[in-house]
Amino acid sequence: MPPKSCDIPDLRPPYDYGHKAPARRRRREMTPNLGLMINNLHSAKMENILPDKMYPQLSKAFISRVSYYTKYLARNTYAQQHVHVGYKTIHDEPGPTQQTRMSNDIFRPEVLKTIEEEIDKYSKDLTDLSLKIHDHPEIKYEERYAHDLLTAYMESQGFEVTRHYLDLETAWKATFTHGNGGRVLGVNSEMDALPGIGHACGHNLIATVGVGISLAVRAALIKHNVSGKICLLGTPAEEGGGGKVILIERGGYKNMDVCLMAHPAAGNPRTAKLGSSQASQELSVEYQGHPAHASAAPWEGQNALDAAFIAYGSISALRQQVKPTHRIHGIVEGRDWAANVIPDYAKMTWVTRAPTAKETEALTKRVVKCLEAAALATETKATIKHSIFYYNLTQNTVLVREFTDVAAKRYGIDASSGIEGAIGASTDFLSPRYILIIPTQPNGGNHTARFTESARTKEAHDITFTITKILALVGFRVLDDELFFKEVHASFKQTMKITGDTSL
């Protein structure tokens, strides 16, 4: 509804620029009225009310300038704002750092109601899918059971399904289109588990989020008659296999306007994390030596295990000289070892991580020098191989703002970004990724057996469905709200400019 007449700012003298009051006084007294006017114009836009119907006493040129400021303010909240009215400049107070919308209302609450009803309706199905995947863990590129389970379900729900997508055996795609034209919302469902400890990163929940978002947004598009397309990808091998990197290289994400997903983690109840993730590089080294009798003729051997221990010691020493935000971790493996034989083979796998790709590349070079030096010291041969590089994830500030807003206002969830919301791990996903906090046992964070247990609890699924509802509304707004999408795209372009990344 339009504002009441008493809410319309009084622009009569001394607030009118034609008045002869001192310029400083005019600026000071007009500023709060402009703020109220901007708020009203923004609210009017949300209700599809033309600005000139609200303020018939003002010229179209004046309203046009203030309307432009409304859009400008929505994109600029950290620096002092400027409004140009006529030939005068009026300074307004900085906006809040976490919310830039002028309205305190959630976007289209009737759509959120549709989304909530849909998720609640399918909650049993979603839980069943999650538990089946959880209880049948499959490591990277072996997610055949999850592939078949999820594709069959999405097909039963009327989605167009492509199995073994882009020649990846366990990748898949499910799409739904409503209306003509419109934008494309991408969603990810991860499926892979960890060796030995199963779904200790909760990818069964991630699969559920992807399916839930797709079902909820489909219902909202149909009921509220909004054109758009949903593209749900089943993405294999996040745990070290770079499945999404391969899908990106093969064009799997090419036509998406936005792609969303969520990932479970341990933390404080009723919170979510929205920070960036680290870039990472996995590399392996194989040391080849020469066997010998460890007692009778050890001088005849070249000890590959010694090379591995020297490399490990060198990297342990290196850790003291790197930044607190950098990480280096690895393991040693062998083959046919015996205490009375000089080992002729040893393998190490290392992972380097840092906040940016540039830092990770520099750190990896230092690790490689340690590996090479160990081979030189033991006269063994080192074969070093680099796996797929994971770039650091940078969040889209506009999508984060929307997620934070809905999470807090509707569900009382505190979503933190920046350093306090930083994601300490790495991912092969380069689009917005939201961390949902599930209840866990003490010392039971990600990649532990205790987290595997937590990822199948009712409490974990309850919070997963809540996050699914939030993301579904965020995704729907991308499809429905042209101005919002332009802000999202502008934020993306700005991030690319800051990071110097022109590849996307």
pLDDT in tens, 135-154: 999 999 999 999 999 999 99
Tell me the per-residue pLDDT of 189-210, one tens digit each, with 9 for 90 and over.
999 999 999 999 999 999 999 9
Q: Both 74 and 184 in a single domain?
A: no
Count the Cβ atoms, other than its own, within 10 Å of residue 471.
Answer: 29
CATH number of the domain that residue 331 is part of: 3.30.70.360
Point out the domain boundary residue: 344, 373, 390.
390
Q: Both 286 and 269 in a single domain?
A: no
Phi and psi of 284, rounded to 5°?
A: -125, 155
Q: Both 239 and 379 in a single domain?
A: no
In this structure, is residue 504 part of a structural domain? no
In this structure, is residue 435 part of a structural domain? yes
Q: How far apart are CA 317 and CA 309, in angstroms?
A: 12
Q: Both 480 and 370 in a single domain?
A: no
Q: Both 220 and 130 in a single domain?
A: yes
In this structure, is residue 63 part of a structural domain? yes
Q: Which residue has the higher pLDDT, 127 or 69?
A: 127
- Given a contact cutoff of 8 angstroms between Cβ atoms, the answer to whether 204 and 133 are in contact is yes
In this structure, is residue 110 part of a structural domain? no
Residues of the domain holding 73: 5-92
Average pLDDT, the chain: 81
Q: What percent of the chain clears pLDDT 90, i.e. is strictly above it? A: 61
Q: Both 169 and 181 in a single domain?
A: yes
- Given a contact cutoff of 8 angstroms between Cβ atoms, the answer to whether 223 and 181 are in contact is no
Torsional sign, CA 408, 436, 266, 276 = negative
In this structure, is residue 107 part of a structural domain? no
DSSP letter at 165? G
Chain mean position to CA 113: 25
Phi and psi of 501, rounded to 5°?
A: -90, 115
When divided into structural domains, the chain yields a total of: 3
Q: Both 195 and 265 in a single domain?
A: yes
pTM of the prediction? 0.71
By DSSP bridging, strand 172-178 and strand 271-273 are: unpaired
Chain mean position to CA 177: 24
**Residue 36 pLDDT class (50, 70, 90 cuts):** very low
Q: Both 308 and 217 in a single domain?
A: no
pLDDT at residue 434 above 70? no
Q: How far apart are the first and last CA of the chain?
A: 41
Point out the domain boundary residue: 358, 375, 390.
390
**Residue 91, both tokens:** 């300074």
Q: Both 312 and 378 in a single domain?
A: yes
Q: Both 398 and 489 in a single domain?
A: yes
Report the pLDDT averaged over residues 156-181. Answer: 97
The torsion angle over the Cα atoms of residues 478, 479, 481 and 482, rounded to 10 degrees, is 90
Point out the domain boundary residue: 390, 405, 428.
390
Helix (H) / strand (E) element for 288: namely: strand 279-288
Q: How far apart are CA 109 and CA 455, in angstroms?
A: 30
In this structure, is residue 474 part of a structural domain? yes
Q: Both 176 and 315 in a single domain?
A: no
Q: What's residue 245's pLDDT?
A: 87
List, in order, residues 6 or more apart from 44 with CB less than 8 Å away.
Answer: 2, 3, 50, 51, 54
Q: Both 74 and 186 in a single domain?
A: no
Q: Which residue has the higher pLDDT, 156 or 427?
A: 156
Tell me the per-residue pLDDT of 264-293, one tens digit each, with 9 for 90 and over.
988 888 888 776 778 889 999 999 999 999
